[in-house]
Amino acid sequence: MKAPDQISPAPAGEPAPRNLTGNAPTHEAPLLPPLAVVKTPYFHLLGYSVAGEETVIQAPELNVVFDIGKCPRPVLTSDFCLLTHGHMDHSAGLAYYLSQRFFQGMTPGTVICPAAIADAVSGVIRSWTALEGKAIEHRVIGLKTGEEYELRKGLIVRTFATRHTVPCAGFLLLDRREKLKPELAQQNLPGHILRDMKARGEKITYTLDVPLIAYTGDTSMGETLLQDGVRDARVLVTECTFFEQGHRKRAAVGQHLHVNEFVEVLPRLENELVLISHLSRRTYLRWAQKTLQKAMEGLTIKPKVEFFMDHAQKLQVRPSKAAAFTPVEPPSTTDTEDA
């Protein structure tokens, strides 16, 4: 076979063969799904989110992974998987996550999910246990809307209502602190007096909840973003699946957010950063960004909004003699955004 750098010139009138070597332009080839990494002042977020394909977003410092469409290796390090709903693009990595953690000798993974699907989640693991012929140690914790669970001292997860085609919930992570009551702080009392008061059973502190991150998973109502703790979380990760004006009906049928609904509630959001996830594969990121920018033009209050997958770590592959590959064609137009 002729070496790629020795391709003959094309006969006159025919297009030149693609030059895969030498001064050929660099191609971006998604040989691996590009994980996005977002650095916030409080924690990192890393993962991948494409509607109907895979959504998995990890907050490593908070020891959680939100949804687990597949299980990229880094997310194994989180002890808790917060599963918003059972659609395959959000849940298919679950058994692998639990099994790998067990296999690697890590503490058993814990899945926290809406109470309505807890039995089904356990059933999946039971079935997999039968297939594997050995038990996968794990925990499944179902939470009803508004219920809380302490992930570690001072770090609480609370569910909030979302609306989708199947039972679902969003997750809010709270940094819970016990603070000295302001009236006592003002008096600047010595420590031993405060300790005595506490020993006498007096309440000297109050609870302060700082909402760190709210994650919606799939949801159809803009209003879900306006709930306490969600609209004012430091970081909000929401879906917004549809951006074309003609797709409002499709958004309603699949119970997803359309950009119009998102922009409607945007001025009332107090988040430091809003991250949009769950774009469909046929919606080009740059086009969606422009569409959103245009939709936000009239707004006087504009929270910082970014697209999660705009933070994807692009893998640059430079064609060389050793790496002749077919450049990737534009994404297919398969409808994948209904999950």
Binding to Zn ion in span 97-156, by CB under 5 A: none
Tell me whether residue 121 or residue 174 sits nearer to Zn ion (CB atom): 121
Contacts of 155 by beta carbon, 8 Å cutoff, 6+ apart: 62, 63, 173, 174, 175, 176
Query: Which residues are CB-contacts of 256 (< 8 A; sequence separation ≥ 6)?
Result: 51, 164, 218, 219, 220, 239, 240, 241, 242, 278, 337, 338
Q: Which is nearer to Zn ion, 20 or 51 (CB)?
A: 51
Which of 248/281 has CB closer to Zn ion?
281
Q: How far is the CB of 56 from Zn ion (least distance, A)?
A: 11
Closer to Zn ion by CB, 218 or 261: give it. Answer: 218
Q: How far is the CB of 282 from Zn ion (least distance, A)?
A: 14
Query: Considering the complex, what minimum distance in angstroms separates the CB of residue 177 from Zn ion?
Result: 34
Choices 102-110, 178-186, 216-224, 294-302 (CB under 5 A): range interacting with Zn ion? 216-224
Comparing C-alpha atoms, which of 264, 165, 182, 172 is closest to residue 210?
172
Task: With H, G, I as helix, E, B as strand and everything else as coil, classify residue 253.
Answer: helix
For residue 110, list its beta bridge partners: 80, 139
- Closer by beta carbon to Zn ion, 89 or else 261: 89
The first and second tokens of residue 90, run together, are 């959000």
Own/partner long-range contacts of 320-325 (Cβ < 8 Å, ≥24 apart)? 320/21, 321/3, 321/4, 321/5, 321/21, 324/4, 324/20, 324/21, 325/20, 325/29
- We find the least distance from the C-beta atom of residue 19 to Zn ion, in angstroms, to be 40
- Out of 218, 269, 275, 279, the only residue in the binding site for Zn ion (CB under 5 A) is 218
Find the shortest distance in angstroms from Cβ 118 to Zn ion.
Answer: 18
Q: Does 337 bind Zn ion (CB under 5 A)?
A: no
Contact status: 339 vs Zn ion (CB under 5 A): yes
Site size toward Zn ion, by CB under 5 A: 4
Stretch that binds Zn ion, among 122-130, 218-226, 244-252, 288-296 (CB under 5 A): 218-226
Do residues 169 and 121 lie in contact, with contact meaning Cβ atoms separated by under 8 Å?
A: no
Which of 4, 69 has the CB closer to Zn ion?
Answer: 69
Nearer to Zn ion, 253 or 299 (CB): 253
The least CB distance from residue 169 to Zn ion, in Å, is 12
275's CB contacts (< 8 A; 6+ apart) are 38, 45, 235, 236, 237, 238, 305, 306, 307, 308
Closest approach of Zn ion to the CB of residue 161, in Å: 15
The residues in 46-105 that bind Zn ion, with binding defined as CB under 5 A, are 87, 89
Interior CA angle at 66 toward 62 and 70, to 5°?
A: 125
Applying CB under 5 A, the residues found at the interface with Zn ion are 87, 89, 218, 339
